[in-house]
Every structure is written in C-alpha cells, then in structure tokens.
Amino acid sequence: MDTSAIILAAGDGKRMKSSKPKVLMEVLSEPMLGWVLDSAEKAGIENIGVVIGSGAELVSDYLNKRGEYKTFLQTERKGTAHAVMQAAEIYNNAENVLVLCGDAPFMDAETISAALAFHKASGSSVTVITAKIDNPTGYGRIVRGADGELLSIVEQKDCTPEQAQIKEINSGAYWFKGKALAEALPKVTPLNASGELYLTDTVSIIREMGCRAGAFTAENPEIVLGANSRKNLLDLNTRARMNIIEKHLDNGVEFPCTDGIIIGKDVVIGQDTVILPNTIIGGKTLIGKGCRIGPNSLIENCTIGDNNQLNNVQAFDSVTENNVKAGPFVQLRPNTHLHEGVKIGDFVELKNAEIGINTCVAHLTYLGDCTVGRGVNFGCGCVTANYDGINKYHINVGDYAFIGCNTNLVAPVNVGENATTGAGSTITRDVPPDSLVIERAETRVIENWEKNKQHKKK
C-alpha cells in the first residue's frame, strides 16, 4: 500500500479535568480526533490506524460511528515512539506512512499532501512537518544543517540555550518510509530528561542509517496548535470560529455582528446570505444564496434553498427549498421537507413531514409523519395525532385543503383535495375531496353552573 496513516490518540488529558479522553474534547462541536481524521481522509489516505489508550472504549465507540478504522491499544504511556510501535501492522505494510497527533485539529489536508509531495521528491526517509512561530516555548526545535537538511529535533526540556532560540518547531506530524521507520523504532532509547521513547529521536537514527531526513515548513502555523487544558481548548474554538467566519466573509456572506455565531467547518453558505447573532450552523449543512438566517437559530445537517428566511428556527436533518419563510420559534425535526414557498408560523413543530408548494402552516401547530399537498392552509392549533402509544401512522392531506383551527387529524387518515375541516373538529376517518367535514360533540349548556362551588362553601 502506497500511503497509510497512524494517529496518536492515547493521551488522557488530565489537565482537562474531564471524564472524556483528550482527543474527544470538541472544537466547534466536533472531537479534535474527528478534525484530524477528516484531514487525513481528504488528503486521500484510506488506510488509517489509531493508537488508543485512556478512554479506549469511548474512542473506539466514536471511531465505530464514523467508519472502519484499525485500533491499537497502548497500555502504558512510554512516549510517542512507543505509541507508534503498537501500530507495526500499519508501517510494516506501507511504502509511506504518516504519523499525526490526534489532538492537533488544525493539521489540514493541503499541508499533508504538500508534505508528501516534498517527501517523495526529496528522497527523504523521514520528513518532519514544521512551522515557524514567534514563541516556540514548549515545542521541539528543528535543527538544520548548512544545506537546510534536517539534522535533529530537540525537545524543549533537552534544548541548549542556543537551540531554545530556534523559531522553527516540530508539529508532531511526520512522513516516513515504512521500512525506515520499522528499522529505526527498535533503536530508540530513553536518553532524555523524561525517560520516554521519543519519536523525534528517529530522525537522528535514520540519518545514522545513511538515509536522508527532511523538513517541510507548512504555510499555516496553526497546524501545531493543540489543547492540554480547557483554556487551550477555548483558544482553539475561538480561532476556529473566527477562521471559518472570515472564510465565509471572503465568499460573500454577511455578518452584521459575529456575537454568538458558530459555524462548523463543513458548512457551505451562498453569497448574499445574512447570518444574524446567536446562530449556530453545524454538520453537513448547505445554505443557498440570499437567505436570512437567525437570530437565535440552530441548523444542523440541513439543505436550505435560496432566499429562505429562518427566524429563531431549530432545524435538524431537514430540507427547505427556495423562498421558504419560517419562525419565530419553529422546530424542524429530522426528515422534514418544506417545498418552495412554504410559510411556517410561530410555535410550529414538524417531524418527518413533507409540506407542499406554497402551503401555509400557521401557529401553535404540530405536524408529524404526514404528507401535505400544495396550497394547503392550516389554521391555528392543529395537530396530527400520529402515535397511538405503540405504533406511528401516516396522514395525507391533498392539494388546496383547508384545515380549520384546532383540528385534530387522528392517523391513519386521508384528507382529500380541496376539502375543508371545520374549526374544532377531530377527524377520525377519511375526508372525500371537495367536502366539508365537521366532527364536534353536540353542544350542551348547563345554566347556573358554579365553577368554584366547593371553594364557596368554605
């Protein structure tokens, strides 16, 4: 296999003070490990192994939900070289193998691909991905020779005063030739201040083997950033949030104010769309042109057409076509599909509902498990009674039907085209097209009724 990857995800992150392992701490609602996996996969690497340790069961559960990954357990924390050794199955069968840190979410696919191209072109047996930063404290320093070739990586605690002044640092990501890595790892010894087996030592070992060591300097210095504390995690979230907002600004999206706005890294937004404060957009969401989203909206894994107005809307795994208007205080639960021109009023909840072109659902209404035609009007307070406590049933409403206020549609039931239900009706059987149906109890008037009779006797 030409390229494979090993992702180091065994750290416990004690300073996070969390029951979750560090790699599952989230940046913009996605675990840091997920960011790293996404970058590796976008770079075209299909064979990925993950070294797990602390919280192994939690990490494995997360990986299983994403796809198929090989996992390798590091039972003792003996350093990064020791961690890589657990994944011998990966590097023994790969021409080139990438090693990444599972808690460095800003390592991007472009850097990975460019570093591989450099690695191959230079004929290096190891290529370290580096970055230049103003304050390198805490990072391993890159020591180069006169010709620019990489000589070694020296950890902060082992630096001489002169080495501590170097600005170029190790990102913790490497490209290795698989055979060179397999030969070098057994030669790593704990000759350092911490007594651990450092992967960085493989650089000097590979050079001693007579092979070339290279260093690729990334254009994006943020690839080195990770998180060891909640404060670090807040910094990552802040950077990621503003980086994404700036990307959308460059693409013609408008933000009158960025307060409370969080947009996931996989969200696509069309030009001239306005995102208002306190709006969160995540998952694989696609938003069209000329929309107005917010304020106070939450959109996840949705496809939103052009010229939508979603005011104070929560929408999940749903589709809204062009020129839809919804809100305020609307919830679109999974599998809701609003066709073009639909209008949804305040305090409406929809679930597994297909709503036809130009249909209007007023306010204080619940529609679940239903298919509604075009041009239908729902009055205030309508409900689809789709669940009998054991099973859920479907409801169909034909084109141009008029559903009067406070109508209950008890599933399974069909309302024909151009039919009308009288206000306050509970519909329990099919309604023919072009008909009026009224289902109400006979009116009874009891005179001289004392509502608070018992209270008055005291």
Residues with a catalytic annotation lie at: 363
Could you give the angle at which helices 109-122 and 32-42 cross, rounded to 10 degrees?
A: 50
How many CA atoms are closer than 13 Å to the CA of 20, on its beta-carbon side? Answer: 16
CA distance linking residue 138 with residue 169, whole number of Å: 9
Alpha-carbon separation of residue 275 from 17, 191, 315, 343 (angstroms)? 34, 54, 15, 20
- The total of other beta-carbon atoms located within 10 Å of residue 335's CB is 15
- The total of other beta-carbon atoms located within 10 Å of residue 134's CB is 6
CA distance linking residue 140 with residue 340, whole number of Å: 56
442: DSSP letter = P
Contact, 387 vs 405, CB < 8 A?
no
State phi, psi for 162 to the nearest 5 degrees: -70, -40
State phi, psi for 217 to the nearest 5 degrees: -90, 120
- Residue 104's nearest CA partner among 232, 202, 216, 213 is 232
Contact, 339 vs 322, CB < 8 A?
no
The three-state secondary structure class of 118 is: helix
CA distance linking residue 121 with residue 131, whole number of Å: 20
CA distance linking residue 446 with residue 429, whole number of Å: 30
Beta pairing class for 280-282 and 298-300? parallel
- Residue 302's nearest CA partner among 319, 290, 326 is 319
User: Quick one: which H or E segment has residue 5?
Assistant: strand 3-9
Alpha carbon dihedral 413, 414, 419, 421, in 10-degree steps, equals 10
140: DSSP letter = P
CA distance linking residue 295 with residue 314, whole number of Å: 11
Contact, 436 vs 424, CB < 8 A?
no
Q: How far is CA 216 from the centre of its chain?
A: 29
